[in-house]
Structures are given as C-alpha cells and as structure tokens.
C-alpha cells in the first residue's frame, strides 16, 4: 500500500464520525469570537483523539490547539468554525427558509472546514503513530475568520513561529490548489464626537457627528476614482447617533473596511482615509478617534508547496458525486442566475459549463485567475510560514458563498463527500512533505527568499487586542 492509499484509508476509517461532528457545528452557528459551542466540539474531539490540548490560545477563549509528536518536521493544519450573521437557513431545502429563533448560518462552509481539517490532522497523527515516524502535527482551531482576523493576531504574537509548513482548505464550487491571491484589508472604527443641541431651537449650538460621518463618506467616495483598480472600501454604521431627528447627533461611529492588493498599498490607502476623516472633523468642528478593529495581509504563495499539493490532488482526482448529489445540485442551480453560474469558476480562470451541476475535474496549477478577490486571515499565516490551501467542491456549480444557498447545502451528502476529500488532499500533502526532506527544504528556501525581499509587517498594530465578546 502506498503512502497516499494508506493516509486516504486512515481518513475513511473515521469519516462517519467527522461528518456527524461537522453537522453538529452546523446546527449551532456562531459568529466571531462567540463560537463557544463550536470550539467545545473541537476540543472534545481533540481530547478523544489523544492530542495535547491548549485552550484559549493567543488570549482568545474560542481558539484551541491540539498537538501530537515531539520531534521532526512541524506541520500545522488550520481549521475554522465561525458562521455568518443574517444567514439562518434550513439545510436540505431549495428555497430561502430561515430557522425560527436563529439569526446565523454557515454561509461559508466553516462547519465543513474545521471538521475536514481536524480529520486530516487526526489521520496524519494516526499515520505517524502507525509507522513510527518522527514529526509533529498541530491542529489550530481558529475563530473569527469572518471579520475578526484571529489568525492575524496569532501570527503577530508568534503562534506560528516554529511551524515548517501550514496546510489548509476552503469549501468551493471547484477543485484546485488555491491561487495565492487575496486582498489585504484593515477594519477601522471612526468615532466622531460633537455637541448635542435642539435641532430646531438651537441648531447653531450643536456640532453634528453625523454630518462629519456623511462628509467623510463623501470624501472616501471621491477617493475611489483615484486608487488602484483592485482596491475596495466598504463601510457600515456601527452607531448612527440615535433615532431622534430633533437632536443634533453628538456621537457617531462608522466602520470602514479598506482593501488593497498588498500591504504597501493598504498602508497608503489607510493614511488617505485617515486624512479624509481628519478633514471631516475639521469641517464640522468635531473630533475623531480612530481605532483598528482587525486587519489581514494578502496571501503569499509558495510554488514548491503548491506543486506538492497539486501532485497529491491529481493522484486522488476530483470529488466523486452520484446521481442524487447532482439532482439536488440542479435544484439549487434553479434558484441561481446565469451570471452566478458563469462566475463560479472565475477563480481558476475556467469558463463554467452551464450544464455541469457539480465540479468533476481538478484545475491545473497554472490556470490564470480572474474575477473578484476577497480577503482571508490565512494571508498572515502565509507571511510567517510556508502555507498552501486547497479548494474542494462541496456545493453546486454557481453557488455564491455568503448566501442562503450555501447554507442549504451545508449538510448535504455532496458537502460531506467534499469535506472528506479535502481531508485526504491535506493529509497526503503533509505526508509528502514529511517523507521528503529535500522537498521540505525547497519549500522553506523559497519562503526565505520571499520574506528577505519583503519582510512581514502585521496590519494590526502592537497593543491592539482582539475584539473579544465575553460569553453571556
């Protein structure tokens, strides 16, 4: 039996248990830094599998780490388990049907992500033990990927410093080694403070924080024409100053999310937005406080490591779906637009076949990426340690993520098959790295060359703490 076949079998040996585990996390969707039930599930599973457990890593109550092994190459597997707000949805139905008394939903498939990553880490652990191989495997259960940037804080504070290679994955509509393309971003809260007054009898005595925010937004809007095409700026009112229109709003907070293709561009844009906020405060005779909420770096690729994962992906091939999987996928696709479907494979630079219900191929490594680009805190890990990420088909071609359609497929047999497949790809990639010191050295040398040219500068300043929400 080859190493690949052996590690795949070790994954299959425990897949049923981990499918149930994934479904339990799906049933208790929790958002950033509130994932207490989800992390408890992960901790219990780590304990059952015999990992050495460290809870509350990086001073985050919903972060956990499991370790096995004492010497040799150190391989990290990254997991996530946070959900998204406003995406409550029943599983297995082909219509928008929120669950009563529930607000959140796994609209990015992180119930699958964490379960597959822990299954991969467990299979690697079992393989090391069975073959008496010296290596360390570490599973990181990371909270708050959706806006909370937990991995950025962890990277800044040294939690990945002794890792040789980090491996992870993400649910997708396609099968591929992830293109190392993402946007760096910074979430910053701007709080304007003015002076309250009666809006009718004494408006001249007031200084409106709401006016200041509106002027800031106008300034940022004008900036959009004069920034790189790949850059983005979004915003949301955190506190609009109250609901009394007859009161001059004295205090207003707005959050701006600034994205750029790399950290250098990001720092420049942040400084420009800071100047705009200062100008808005000057014009309205208010004051402004700027507070970084979170931030992430752009992904840093590693060609030798990506090639290793591509080789392993091609050996196992695409996820195998059956007739029922395709029938359900087609029902989901009936709720989508042709644009949704055409957009599905933009990430891998392949035109989506309009009649393909589920992806049945592995994309080549050299395909050209196009389409929209998001952000991830995996980016910061990639600046600290060589990192590779798989994308594995878990849902119908055309499914837009962060939608009810994604949630509806989160417990489907197709999602479970993709999850198990992802575990096999990650586990066999780890085995390939552990078994070949020469390849591992190539991975590490490529990383050193990149970092030497452009050292890591964390987008979250020292002293800024994660926005932890205490368990209620």
What is the per-residue pLDDT across 394-418, written as a single tens digit (0 to 9) for each? 999 999 999 999 999 999 999 999 9
Query: Stretch 222-236: mean pLDDT, rounded?
Result: 95
The H-or-E segment that residue 317 falls in is none
Residues composing the chain: 472
- CATH class as words, domain 3-180+299-453: alpha beta
Other beta carbons within 10 angstroms of residue 210's beta carbon come to: 21
Grouping H, G, I as helix, E, B as strand and the rest as coil, residue 434 is helix
What pLDDT does 368 receive?
76
Average pLDDT, the chain: 95
Cα–Cα dist 425/427, whole Å: 6
Query: Stretch 233-260: mean pLDDT, rounded?
Result: 96
The more confident residue out of 290 and 147 is: 290
What is the per-residue pLDDT across 407-454, written as a single tens digit (0 to 9) for each? 999 999 999 999 999 999 999 999 999 999 999 999 999 999 999 988
What pLDDT does 213 receive?
98
- CATH class as words, domain 184-296: alpha beta
What is the per-residue pLDDT across 86-110, written as a single tens digit (0 to 9) for each? 999 999 999 999 999 899 999 999 9
What pLDDT does 371 receive?
65
The H-or-E segment that residue 186 falls in is strand 184-193
Grouping H, G, I as helix, E, B as strand and the rest as coil, residue 362 is strand
* Order of strands, sheet of 136-142, starting from the edge strand that comes earlier in the sequence: 52-55, 64-68, 136-142, 74-80, 165-172, 387-393, 176-177
Percent of the chain with pLDDT over 70: 98
pLDDT reading at 288 higher than 80: yes
Q: Apex CA 277: angle with CA 182 and CA 31, to 5°?
A: 45
Other beta carbons within 10 angstroms of residue 205's beta carbon come to: 11
Sign of the dihedral defined by the CA atoms of residues 168, 458, 270, 283, in that order = positive
What pLDDT does 470 receive?
64
Band (pLDDT 50/70/90 cuts) for residue 353 is: confident
What pLDDT does 344 receive?
86
- Which of left, alpha, beta for 54 (phi over 0: left; psi -120 to 50: alpha)? beta
Place of tokens 């790189």: 228
What is the per-residue pLDDT across 13-49, written as a single tens digit (0 to 9) for each? 999 999 999 999 999 999 999 999 999 999 999 999 9
Band (pLDDT 50/70/90 cuts) for residue 1 is: low
- For the whole model, what pTM was predicted? 0.93
What pLDDT does 266 receive?
95
Cα–Cα dist 452/39, whole Å: 36
Other beta carbons within 10 angstroms of residue 414's beta carbon come to: 23
Q: In whole angstroms, how far apart are CA 4 and each of 7, 124, 321, 357, 361?
A: 5, 11, 21, 28, 19
pLDDT reading at 345 higher than 90: no
Cα–Cα dist 298/379, whole Å: 5
Other beta carbons within 10 angstroms of residue 73's beta carbon come to: 20
Domain boundaries, the chain: 3-180+299-453, 184-296
Cα–Cα dist 221/272, whole Å: 12
Cα–Cα dist 52/62, whole Å: 17
Place of tokens 């991975």: 443
Pairing mode, if any, of strands 387-393 and 165-172? parallel
What pLDDT does 225 receive?
94
Within this chain, domains 3-180+299-453 and 184-296 share the same CATH topology: no
What pLDDT does 286 receive?
98
Other beta carbons within 10 angstroms of residue 1's beta carbon come to: 8
Band (pLDDT 50/70/90 cuts) for residue 348 is: confident
pLDDT reading at 372 higher than 90: no
């Amino acid at each position: 039996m080859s190493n690949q076949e052996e590690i795949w079998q070790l994954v299959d040996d425990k897949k049923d248990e981990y499918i149930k585990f994934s479904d339990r996390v799906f049933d208790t969707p929790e958002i950033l830094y509130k994932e207490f039930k989800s992390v408890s599930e992960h901790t219990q599973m780590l304990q059952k599998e015999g990992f050495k457990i460290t809870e509350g890593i990086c001073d985050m109550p919903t972060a956990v780490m499991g370790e096995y092994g004492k010497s040799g190459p150190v391989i990290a597997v990254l997991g996530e388990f946070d959900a998204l707000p406003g995406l409550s949805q029943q599983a297995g139905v082909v219509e928008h049907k929120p669950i009563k008394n529930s607000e959140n939903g796994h609209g990015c498939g992180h119930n699958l992500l964490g379960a597959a990553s822990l299954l991969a880490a467990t299979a690697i652990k079992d393989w090391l033990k069975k073959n008496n191989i010296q290596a360390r495997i570490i599973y990181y259960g990371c909270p708050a990927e959706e806006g909370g940037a937990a991995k950025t804080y962890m990277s800044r504070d040294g939690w990945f410093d002794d890792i040789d290679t980090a491996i992870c994955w993400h649910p997708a509509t396609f099968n591929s080694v992830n293109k190392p393309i993402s946007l760096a971003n910074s979430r910053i809260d701007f709080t304007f403070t003015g002076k309250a007054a009666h809006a009718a009898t004494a408006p001249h005595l007031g200084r409106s924080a709401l006016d200041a925010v509106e002027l800031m937004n106008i300034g940022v809007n004008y900036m959009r024409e004069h920034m790189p095409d790949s850059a983005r700026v979004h915003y949301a009112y955190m506190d609009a100053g109250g609901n009394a229109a007859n009161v001059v709003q004295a205090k207003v907070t707005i959050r701006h999310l600034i994205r750029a293709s790399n950290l250098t561009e990001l720092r420049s844009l942040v400084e420009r937005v800071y100047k705009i906020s200062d100008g808005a405060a000057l014009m309205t005779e208010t004051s402004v406080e700027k507070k970084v909420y979170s931030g992430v770096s752009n992904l840093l690729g590693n060609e030798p490591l990506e090639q290793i994962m591509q080789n392993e992906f091609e050996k196992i091939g695409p996820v195998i779906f059956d007739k029922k999987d395709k029938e359900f996928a087609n029902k989901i696709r009936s709720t989508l637009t042709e644009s949704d479907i055409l957009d599905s494979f933009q990430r891998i630079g392949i035109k989506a076949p309009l009649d393909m219900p589920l992806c049945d191929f592995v994309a080549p490594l050299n395909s050209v990426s196009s389409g929209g680009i998001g952000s991830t805190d995996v980016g910061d890990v990639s600046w600290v340690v060589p990192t590779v990420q798989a994308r594995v088909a878990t849902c119908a071609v055309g499914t837009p993520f962060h939608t009810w359609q994604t949630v509806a497929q989160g417990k489907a047999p197709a999602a479970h098959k993709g999850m198990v497949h992802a575990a096999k790809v990650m586990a066999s990639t780890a085995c390939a790295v552990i078994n070949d010191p020469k390849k591992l050295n190539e991975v590490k040398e490529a990383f050193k060359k990149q970092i030497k040219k452009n050292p890591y500068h964390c987008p979250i300043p020292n002293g800024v703490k994660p926005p932890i929400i205490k368990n209620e």
